[in-house]
Structure 1
């Protein structure tokens, strides 16, 4: 009996170590000037590296990279708490995670939304929303091309009557967000016979192609959409807000390094949706090194 407290103490110490090992490493351990993070999917790998290389090339600063830090809420909390200095967000997502529009509709006009985010982020979080990178990556509700052709489905309204026979597959974040599954289902009258499967974003297209699910929520710039012959359904009721890609940066960091603002401003309008989709495919489909893909892209813009 007397051994139990000792065993319990050992187990407790091991548990604490295990939990600590699972936490994201946000310390500036590499001795860099600033920390650039990215969320946990391929496009964010590319965009995080795009910021990092631009900063290193144009501002002459050393960047510590924190790829795959987590989802939108994790990155938002990290930057407002000063754990990271910059990451790329999407305007509609920023409106959701910041709760700036908690008691009002998110503006549907891109310029109006961007301006309100700039004002709100500056006042509430002391963060700067930089000019957009040039493309929008909206949520894309996707079905198999064969199904779309057979049943002549082009819009979300046309898809709604089929949902009682379909199985849905969605990422955890989309299933929980203010601008996610619940609102989409209400707007279009989606009525799945079974609760949708919650799955890793890296698995949704495989599940769709293998007919484990029939409708998924991806991203409009995903490189696999065209390659796999999938169809993005038109948001004919304009449920989703704009999702322009914009760098979010701590104002204190911009003041500390004046060249940083100029370097990031040069990325304004630099990336088209087609270019983003191509880079996503090169990294995910062709398994190319993300640093090399970004380096070649920036070189092509010189």
Structure 2
């Protein structure tokens, strides 16, 4: 009798453990993609932490290459979502130009993404990570530089160090020259993304292309100039989701929408600085920010 009871208890335990294991195995893992630079890594982790904290899902955050790779992975369902910028969709994915109003650009690309590829562009996180030009403080003071127009008036005395992509793109240096007549620099040096900051710090160049939320702007104490003719389109970031995934996972959409309007340009710059210059893992940077903002426990 005792042996029978032990056998029954053993079988019951096996059933319980098997059920728990099955339940654990059935927890869905949401695949989040991001591009291959600091801000994208931080954003990917922000999305992951919000999803994990607000739903019962696990996440798998994957670093991809550039815009086209991430976009194709989203359309095919290899990833379920990734952070994207309104200006990137507008210029690089749709191949359009002309619009400058942030809301018009966002609403336009949101509509086109849904219409063309059944993708859902959620509400923006709040900040605009647009292209800009940056100079050392002493250069700004010497030439009284505050705007792109000021740069155009003094370009003949200055050397720009920028990425080759920026120098060769119509929505980069080529277009700037048309919008700001006189923006013909003494020399244009094509540099790796990181090296352009070293070059301007060492005085080998005078002007650098940059993103307005780049943490290295803090590191090197550079002055951001105003695009006074609004050449660059707005680059408002938002979660971009596969449409079928979004429809079947409303709780994920709800979790990500809590991030809408929560991050300013200065705050994103600080997050990038912490990850890029202080060397903190992107996951830690994301968790600490969300806790401070009261978005997670």
Please give the alpha-carbon distance, in whole angstroms, between the structure 1 residues aligned to 2:124 and 2:168.
26
Using the TM superposition, give the Cα deviation of residue 77 of structure 1 relative to its aligned residue in structure 2, in angstroms: 2.9
Q: Which moved more, 1:266-275 or 1:165-174?
A: 165-174
Please give the alpha-carbon distance, in whole angstroms, between the structure 2 residues aligned to 1:178 and 1:99.
14
CA contact (8 A) 2:218 2:273 kept: no
Please give the alpha-carbon distance, in whole angstroms, between the structure 1 residues aligned to 2:197 and 2:69.
24
1:13 match: none
Please give the alpha-carbon distance, in whole angstroms, between the structure 2 residues aligned to 1:170 and 1:124.
33
Alignment of 1:171-190 (within 5 A): 171-189=163-181, 190=183
TM-score between the two structures when normalised by the length of structure 2: 0.84
Alignment of 1:188-199 (within 5 A): 188-189=180-181, 190-194=183-187, 196-199=188-191
Using the TM superposition, give the Cα deviation of residue 226 of structure 1 relative to its aligned residue in structure 2, in angstroms: 3.3
2:8 match: none
Alignment of 1:174-253 (within 5 A): 174-189=166-181, 190-194=183-187, 196-253=188-245
Q: 1:277 aligns with which of 269, 272, 291?
A: 269
Instruction: Mark the CA change 1:50 to 1:178 in structure 2 (over 3 Å): closer, same or farther.
Output: farther
Q: 2:59 aligns with which of 56, 63, 79?
A: 63
CA contact (8 A) 2:120 2:241 kept: yes
1:50 match: 46
Please give the alpha-carbon distance, in whole angstroms, between the structure 2 residues aligned to 1:75 and 1:164.
39
Please give the alpha-carbon distance, in whole angstroms, between the structure 2 residues aligned to 1:113 and 1:293.
30
Please give the alpha-carbon distance, in whole angstroms, between the structure 1 residues aligned to 2:52 and 2:98.
35
Q: Does 1:293 align with 2:289?
A: no
Q: Secondary structure at the match of 1:201?
A: coil
Deviations 1:97-117 (A, max 9, x none): 22252xxx3421111111111
Using the TM superposition, give the Cα deviation of residue 172 of structure 1 relative to its aligned residue in structure 2, in angstroms: 4.0
1:33 match: 29
Please give the alpha-carbon distance, in whole angstroms, between the structure 2 residues aligned to 1:246 and 1:106.
21
Using the TM superposition, give the Cα deviation of residue 260 of structure 1 relative to its aligned residue in structure 2, in angstroms: 1.1
Using the TM superposition, give the Cα deviation of residue 293 of structure 1 relative to its aligned residue in structure 2, in angstroms: 1.2
Q: How many residues align?
A: 267
Cα RMSD for the two superposed structures: 1.9
Deviations 1:58-114 (A, max 9, x none): 1222221112x222233223323333221111111110122252xxx3421111111
Please give the alpha-carbon distance, in whole angstroms, between the structure 2 residues aligned to 1:280 and 1:97.
24
Please give the alpha-carbon distance, in whole angstroms, between the structure 1 residues aligned to 2:121 and 2:93.
12
Q: Secondary structure at the match of 2:194?
A: helix
CA contact (8 A) 1:169 1:213 kept: yes
Instruction: Mark the CA change 1:56 to 1:172 in structure 2 (over 3 Å): closer, same or farther.
Output: farther
Instruction: Mark the CA change 1:224 to 1:100 in structure 2 (over 3 Å): closer, same or farther.
Output: closer
Query: Where do 5+ consecutive residues of structure 2 fail to align?
Result: 1-26
Using the TM superposition, give the Cα deviation of residue 32 of structure 1 relative to its aligned residue in structure 2, in angstroms: 6.3
Using the TM superposition, give the Cα deviation of residue 264 of structure 1 relative to its aligned residue in structure 2, in angstroms: 1.0
Please give the alpha-carbon distance, in whole angstroms, between the structure 1 residues aligned to 2:123 and 2:164.
29
Please give the alpha-carbon distance, in whole angstroms, between the structure 1 residues aligned to 2:125 and 2:179.
30
TM-score between the two structures when normalised by the length of structure 1: 0.82
Ranges of 4+ aligned residues in structure 1 off by more than 6 Å: none
**Higher gyration radius (CA):** 2
Q: 1:122 aligns with which of 90, 114, 122?
A: 114
Query: Where do 5+ consecutive residues of structure 1 fail to align?
Result: 1-30
Q: Does 1:90 align with 2:85?
A: yes
2:17 match: none
1:264 match: 256
Instruction: Mark the CA change 1:247 to 1:257 in structure 2 (over 3 Å): closer, same or farther.
Output: same
